[in-house]
Structure 1
Amino acid sequence: MMLYLALALALQPPASEPPRWTGEGYTLAWSDEFTSKSLDTKKWVFRTDSKHWSTQKPENVRVADGFLRLELKKEDAGDKHYTGAGVISKKTFTYGYYEARFKTPPGAGWHSSFWLMTHDGSGGTSPKATNQELDIIENDSISPLGYGVNTHKWNPEPHQSFGGKHVKTPDLSADFHTFGCEFTPATVKYYFDGALVQTVDATKFAHSPQHIWLTSIASQLGRTTAVDDTKLPAAVLFDYVRYYEKKR
C-alpha cells in the first residue's frame, strides 16, 4: 500500500503546475513557461510607453526562478515618477484558448493586465491597428478582491464595448490564480481558475489577428488617488502563458 501511495504521489503534477487546458479538440500550440535565465526575445518585445503615472521600462522585465517578473518602482523616467513594465508577443494569434497564471502586486496604484490586441509596433497601446481588444483580466491593485473583464470593438469605428463585468475573487496579490479566454468566431468566454465567468457574442464585431500582452502600469484607474509607496519596489509574477489551438 505504501509503495502504491508513493507511486501515485510521484505521478501527480507539482502544486505549482495546474492542469493543462483540456477543452475538446484543443492542443497546446505556443507557450512560455519562463524557465530560462532571461526573457526570450524571440517571443517577446517590450512595452515602452509613458501612460497614466508610469513609464514602462525594458529594464523592469526579468525572468528568474521560473517566473516572469514585471518590476514596479518609484523612480523618475520620462515625465513620470514611477516605472512599470510589460511584454508583447511577437507572434499573432486569432481563435483559440489563452491562459496565464500570475499574482498581482500588493498596495494601491498598479493596473495589471493580461489581454489581447493587435500591437502597432510602437511599444504603446494605440488601438488603430486592431479590430478587437479582449481584456482577460484588468486588476487595479487598490482592489485585490476582484478584477474586470471586457471586450472592445475598436475598428471599424465607432468604439463599442461588450460584456464588461467585475469578477469577485480571493486576494489576487496573496497567491497565484489562472485566467483564461476562449475566442471563437461565435463567442468570447472568460475563465477564472477554470470557472466560466463571462460570455460575449463575438459576432457583434470584426476580428483581427492579435498579440498577447502582459503588463502593469501605475494608474489612477479604480478610483486610485495615489500609489502606495510603502509597498515598493514590487512585482507582478507570471508563472506561464499558453495558447491552445483547435485541431483541424
Structure 2
Amino acid sequence: MALPQIVQHGRRVARPNAAKAAFTATVKPIAVGRIVRLQVLRGSSWRTVDTVRQDADGRIDFGARASKNDQALRYRVVAGRFRSLPAVKSRPVSTARWLKPTWTDQFGGRSLSPAWSHRGQTYQPASLRRCSKGSAKAVRVGGGAVRLRVMRDPSRATKCPALKNGQIAGRYAYRLNGHIGTDQSFSFRYGFAAARIKFPRLRGQHGSFWMQPIGGMYPGGTGHEIDVTEFFGGTHKRSGLFSYIHRYEAGHIVKTGANISDRFLHGPGDGWGKSFHVFSVQWTPRRLIFRIDGRETWRVGGRISRVPQYLILSLLSSDYELPEIEDRQLPQHMAVDWVRVWETGR
C-alpha cells in the first residue's frame, strides 16, 4: 500500500515535498528475518530502492520518493525465497493519489496564515488550566516553522495556586500557552493528517497535534476528539509519548489510548525533543491508524468519528504539570515545521 509523504525525520526544518512517501506491506505466512525489497519501475525494469527484514507482525515499512520530475512513481514489494517459502511479489501501486495534498501550511514568513486562530484565551479551571491560558504572545513564526511556547504571563505579578489531585501542589507564575486551531477555516472528513514536530524535552507541559469535531462532542453525537500525538516529556520509566481518542459511550466520555515506545526513534542518538518527526493519522469510517515517520504505532476501530474534524496544535501547561518545572526554566518551545492533510472522502 502506498501512503502519502509522511516520512521525514531530521534535526532541521525541511520542505514537505522533500518528505518520502510511506509504503507498508504484509507478507504471509510470517517468516521473521525474511528479506523483503521495495522496487520502483524504471522504464521497463524494476530496481530495488530499499531492503528490510520481515518482523514478527509480518509487516514491512519503507520510505521512498513519491515522484520524479513531478510525475508519480510505481512501486512493488518482493519477498525473496526463504527456507521452504517461494519468492512472491505484490501488485504494483502508484503514488499518484498523494501528490497533491488537500491542505498544507509550511509556516513561511513571520506570521501565522489566516487559516489559524488562537484558542483558549481565558484561564479555564474546568479544563485544569486555572494557571495558564492561550495567547498570541506565545506563538512565533520564523525560520520555516511555528514555535508554540509556554511562557510567564507578563500581565500577572502574583503566583497561582496550582491544584494536583484536588490539593494545592505549589504556587507558580501564571503562564501563557501557544494554542492554535483551524476551526474557523478548515476541516475535513476521512484521509490523512500529518504534522512534523519537535517537542520540548522537559516535563511540566504537553505538546500536542490533535483534532476536534465541528460542532463539538456531546452525548449521542458522532464526533470524537482524535489526539494524533501528545508528548508529556521524557521519564526514566517509559516514553512520555501517547496517542488517544475521546468519544462518548453510553452518555459518558471514554478515553482510549496507547503509550508509544521509544523504539520508533531512529537510534540511541535520537529523541522526541532532539529531532523533527512526522506524526500522522489515517482516518477511515472503520478505523484510525497512527504512524510516526510512516511506521504504524497504534490502531483503533469501533465507533469512529463521522463528522468533519479541524486541526489543533498546542503546547499546554495544565495545573497538575506545573510542579514538574520551575518558573526559571521558562519559556519552553515546541516547533512545528509543516502540517498537511490528504482528504480521501471515505
Fold equivalence (TM over 0.5): yes
Maintained 8 Å contact 1:30/1:242: yes
Alpha-carbon distance between aligned partners in 1 of 2:279 and 2:222, rounded to the nearest angstrom: 22
Return the TM-score normalized by structure 2: 0.58
**CA RMSD, Structure 1 to Structure 2 (Å):** 2.9
Return the TM-score normalized by structure 1: 0.79
Could you say which residue in structure 1 is the equivalent of 2:273? Answer: 173
Could you say which residue in structure 2 is the equivalent of 1:10? Answer: none
Equivalent AA in structure 2 for residue 188 of structure 1: L
Give 1:30's match in structure 2, choosing from 90, 94, 103.
103
DSSP-derived class of the 1:198 partner? strand
Could you say which residue in structure 2 is the equivalent of 1:16? Answer: 14
Instruction: Map 1:116-195 to 2 at 5 A.
Output: 116-118=211-213, 127-128=217-218, 131-141=223-233, 143=235, 145-154=239-248, 157-162=251-256, 164-169=257-262, 170=265, 171-195=271-295
Stretch deviating more after TM superposition (92-101 or 134-143): 134-143
Could you say which residue in structure 2 is the equivalent of 1:197? Answer: 297
Identity %: 23
Equivalent AA in structure 1 for residue 210 of structure 2: W
Could you say which residue in structure 2 is the equivalent of 1:73? Answer: 151
Equivalent AA in structure 2 for residue 59 of structure 1: K
Equivalent AA in structure 2 for residue 28 of structure 1: P
Q: CA deviation at 1:208?
A: 1.4
Alpha-carbon distance between aligned partners in 2 of 1:130 and 1:114, rounded to the nearest angstrom: 21
Could you say which residue in structure 1 is the equivalent of 2:118? Answer: 46
Stretch deviating more after TM superposition (82-91 or 135-144): 135-144
Which protein has the larger Cα radius of gyration, Structure 1 or Structure 2? 2
Maintained 8 Å contact 2:195/2:338: yes
Maintained 8 Å contact 2:189/2:345: no
Q: CA deviation at 1:230?
A: 3.9
Residues 22-68 of structure 1: CA deviation (Å, up to 9, x unaligned):
67644411010001221012x11111243424111112112111011
Alpha-carbon distance between aligned partners in 2 of 1:206 and 1:108, rounded to the nearest angstrom: 31
Residues 57-108 of structure 1: CA deviation (Å, up to 9, x unaligned):
1121121110111122123567671111111012111101000001111322
Maintained 8 Å contact 2:195/2:278: yes
DSSP-derived class of the 1:59 partner? helix
Q: CA deviation at 1:172?
A: 1.1
DSSP-derived class of the 1:50 partner? coil
Maintained 8 Å contact 1:142/1:224: no
Alpha-carbon distance between aligned partners in 2 of 1:130 and 1:233, rounded to the nearest angstrom: 38
Alpha-carbon distance between aligned partners in 2 of 1:215 and 1:57, rounded to the nearest angstrom: 11
Q: CA deviation at 1:119?
A: 5.5
Could you say which residue in structure 2 is the equivalent of 1:9? Answer: none
Could you say which residue in structure 1 is the equivalent of 2:333? Answer: 235
Equivalent AA in structure 2 for residue 147 of structure 1: L
Q: CA deviation at 1:19?
A: 1.6
Shift in alpha-carbon separation, 1:49–1:141, aligned structure 2, 3 A: farther
Alpha-carbon distance between aligned partners in 1 of 2:149 and 2:273, rounded to the nearest angstrom: 14
Shift in alpha-carbon separation, 1:212–1:15, aligned structure 2, 3 A: closer
Q: CA deviation at 1:157?
A: 2.9
| Matched residues, number | 226
Shift in alpha-carbon separation, 1:146–1:107, aligned structure 2, 3 A: closer
Query: Tell me, which stretches of 5 or more residues in structure 2 are unaligned?
Result: 1-11, 24-94, 161-172, 266-270
Maintained 8 Å contact 1:136/1:150: yes
